[in-house]
Structure 1
Amino acid sequence: MNFSRPLSVAFALATLATAPSQAQPTPQPRPETVAAGLSHPWALAFLPDGRFLVTERPGHLRVIEADGRARPPVEGLPPVVAAGQGGLLDVALDAGFGANRTIYFCFSEAGPSGTNGTALARAVLSTDERRLDQVRVIFSQQPKVASRAHFGCRIAQGRDGTLFLTMGDRFSRSADAQRRDNHLGKVIRVDPEGRPPADNPFIGRPGALPAIWSYGHRNMQGATIGPDGRLWTHEHGAQGGDEINIVQAGRNYGWPVITHGVNYGGAPIGEGLKAKEGMEQPLHQWTPSIAPSGMAFLTSDRYGPAWKGSLLVGSLKFGYLDRIEVRDDKVVAEQKLLASARERIRDVRQGPDGLIYVLTDEEDGKLIRLQP
């Protein structure tokens, strides 16, 4: 099938015609600051007994007590390249944390001659939560690149225990997102030891790296396992074209050949098309860009039945939390939360108490709980 410019225009018009509406007005939740004074916090995980584990991009992992007191940084982290968008990024507790105290974290790892790349490590958090033991890098992005941008670095653990990790295209190497002989612009999938599972889509394919799950991505800073067990991600576009995708094994998500955005300054990207045969369309796209980060489903009923099942995405650019209503894999409505504060929302999670928690990416960053 030959996709020409008229089809792209028609596709754009169809997209506009089915654009989601604003959600029906509902009471805004009340933000409650749990902790402040955090240095560019990036990711949040929940420890037992109501405590929190937070990464700070400059290279600190901290335990936050239930009363908001931040403990001294946890010892034992590997060296982190904290420059530009790089640093200590996502953190996730293993599904068996209660028994094994295993955590996973991803960070920007130094390479030779000033290069760097995204790495995934596992470790055991000591019982006093003062240090990491048995620290081991289980996956390291190849090739390493001299870049300060587009690390991706969100972790999601599937129901089978395997780990998904998002890989940015490193900005200067966008064309590599279409090649399967590197990890740039990919979602990778490994087991808890860092080995590619036997059912990964490119196992045994000549010229393809076995850890690759999907390709053709730009810079994914949101990933979560949906209530249906599927992997949901979002990624930054250039000027416009931020995307939400349900990422499936072996699929090509188009970057940088097709995109709903344009280059900085307005020039077309790739082939200047929004659609092409063999490349996936996003479930949803934002133009203008909201610069999305953090992603979670609200499965609790703490905010009432209208909110249950909502997808939550932070906006760095406009400083709000987007509550998204999804029906039959389509975005049908959106509602902006926390918009008046205009703080960069870096991460969003549902806590064990069923409440929504967000991190603000500021020099004086905050951990905020949303009270119904």
Structure 2
Amino acid sequence: MRHAALSSALALVIALSLAACDRAPGAAAEASAPPATAPAATTAPPTPGKQLQVREIATGLEHPWAVAPLPEGGFLVTERPGRLRRVSATGELSEPVANVPAVWAKGQGGLLDVVLAPDFATSRRIFLSYAEPGPGDTAGTAVATAVLDGNALTDVKRIYQQQPKLEGPNHFGSRIAFDGKGHVFISQGDRNDRPTAQKLDMLQGKIVRLNLDGSVPQDNPFVGTPGARPEIWSYGHRNAQSLAVDPRTGTLWEAEHGPRGGDEINLPAPGKNYGWPVVTHGINYSGLPIPEAVGNEAPDMQPPHHVWEKSPGLAGMAFYTGRPDSAWNDSLLLGALADGSLIRVTLDGDRIAGEERLLKDIGARIRDVRVGPEGHVYVITDQEDGRLLQLIPPVR
């Protein structure tokens, strides 16, 4: 077991320029990683100011995948090999939390997202997504709920499992988001089996919408449709590792990996088809066209809300809103794996008005981003010795 405490010698305060970048796309796909570089260190504590400040909270996390700030302080962090850790506000790592569901930890599989239930303050319930093992070395995305009781989980219940389970180590998704109306959304990948994203009798390449107990809402778009899974909200998605609800409007936003090029943001609407693999802005990693693709648009398929022709490798997503004194107010934050950055997209309503790429200096894949209740931003780096960082956005 590896433990990490906040080292004063590594308490980072990195001043980053506020000049907005243009919309130049990022680097290659998820499998690509930027070179590791060591950021400068300082012992000065972060304070609000005109420049972005970054502080290292913890190290020693093995390929962390998601971070959830706790209301009492500290964090929950998933590690892809199958561990859930508690991290204190000063950076100490707990022993692995007990009773986490068994995961299929191969390739991109493992323990994935963690989010607090909407009533966490009273229920202590959390949601976990993970690659669930199946027969014959198959696997599929699953979601479980559990009660956080000290350093253990109790009342663990799987509320969703992707069917059918398939072979292969890639494209599980998966993020979890709540609409504030008693529903949970779960994003999933196509398991690197492209045609599944268009098949309504399979759950790969879909966003599903469930009640919080895992039952199917009767107003889901395919309830009662012969040959279609009633859990489906939208389909034609490739590998969605970004999902969030805009607190200003209640609109669901999703971002997904393209193949070689074509990462995109969508605003998934009920019953709509977002095109993969028939419609794409990307090509195969080999440089050859996608066999099923007809171009970047087709009848009855939704165009992306925003597209990067060169893939940054989009990961976690969080809205930064309701903070008029912050220079980041009304922003969408996206982790980028291949580009090794935190992408800040400025919003004018739903319109994307600009883009800024941050944290390039640290030379790490940014896997997740969350906003804490105090207005600080937390990101984790996808590394064997992964880090949890705190960002204090600049004031106006």
CA offset at residue 267 of structure 1? 1.9
CA contact (8 A) 1:21 1:332 kept: no
Structure 2 counterpart of 1:289, one-letter code? S
Q: What does residue 66 of structure 2 align with? A: 43
CA contact (8 A) 1:283 1:329 kept: no
CA contact (8 A) 2:22 2:356 kept: no
CA contact (8 A) 1:190 1:196 kept: yes
Q: Distance in 1 between matches of 2:147 and 2:277?
A: 38
CA offset at residue 271 of structure 1? 3.0
CA contact (8 A) 1:62 1:74 kept: yes
Structure 1 counterpart of 2:358, one-letter code? L
Q: Deviations over 1:331-370 (max 9, x none)?
A: 2210011111121000001001111110000011011001
Q: What does residue 260 of structure 2 align with? A: 239
Q: Distance in 2 between matches of 1:274 and 1:155?
A: 28
Pairwise CA RMSD:
1.6
1:1-372 alignment to 2 at 5 Å? 21=22, 28-126=51-149, 129-171=150-192, 173-227=193-247, 228-269=249-290, 270-301=292-323, 304-372=325-393
- Secondary structure in 1 aligned to 2:243? strand
TM-score, normalisation: structure 2: 0.85
How many residue pairs match? The answer is 347
CA offset at residue 328 of structure 1? 4.0
CA contact (8 A) 1:102 1:122 kept: yes
CA contact (8 A) 2:315 2:366 kept: yes
Q: Distance in 2 between matches of 1:355 and 1:273?
A: 41
Q: Distance in 1 between matches of 2:348 and 2:114?
A: 29
- Secondary structure in 1 aligned to 2:362? coil
Q: Distance in 2 between matches of 1:298 and 1:88?
A: 26
Q: What does residue 3 of structure 2 align with? A: none
Structure 2 counterpart of 1:166, one-letter code? S
- Secondary structure in 1 aligned to 2:122? helix
CA offset at residue 217 of structure 1? 0.3
Q: Deviations over 1:232-262 (max 9, x none)?
A: 0100000000000111110000000010111
- Secondary structure in 2 aligned to 1:295? strand
- Secondary structure in 2 aligned to 1:98? helix
CA offset at residue 50 of structure 1? 1.4
For residues 58 and 312 of structure 1, do their structure 2 counterparts lie closer, same or farther at Cα, with a shift above 3 Å needed? same
Q: What does residue 30 of structure 2 align with? A: none
- Structure 2 unmatched ranges of 5 or more: 1-20, 25-48
- Secondary structure in 1 aligned to 2:72? helix
- Secondary structure in 2 aligned to 1:352? coil
Q: Distance in 1 between matches of 2:53 and 2:349?
A: 30
CA contact (8 A) 1:240 1:286 kept: yes
Identical-residue share of aligned pairs (%): 48
Q: Distance in 2 between matches of 1:103 and 1:292?
A: 24
For residues 132 and 305 of structure 1, do their structure 2 counterparts lie closer, same or farther at Cα, with a shift above 3 Å needed? closer
- Structure 1 unmatched ranges of 5 or more: 1-19
CA offset at residue 306 of structure 1? 3.6
Structure 2 counterpart of 1:273, one-letter code? G
Structure 1 counterpart of 2:314, one-letter code? P
Q: Distance in 2 between matches of 1:365 and 1:300?
A: 30
Q: Distance in 2 between matches of 1:287 and 1:47?
A: 37
- Secondary structure in 2 aligned to 1:340? helix
CA offset at residue 278 of structure 1? 0.4
Q: Distance in 1 between matches of 2:270 and 2:77?
A: 30
- Secondary structure in 2 aligned to 1:261? coil
Q: Distance in 2 between matches of 1:181 and 1:147?
A: 20
TM-score, normalisation: structure 1: 0.90
Structure 1 counterpart of 2:99, one-letter code? G
Q: Distance in 1 between matches of 2:104 and 2:293?
A: 34
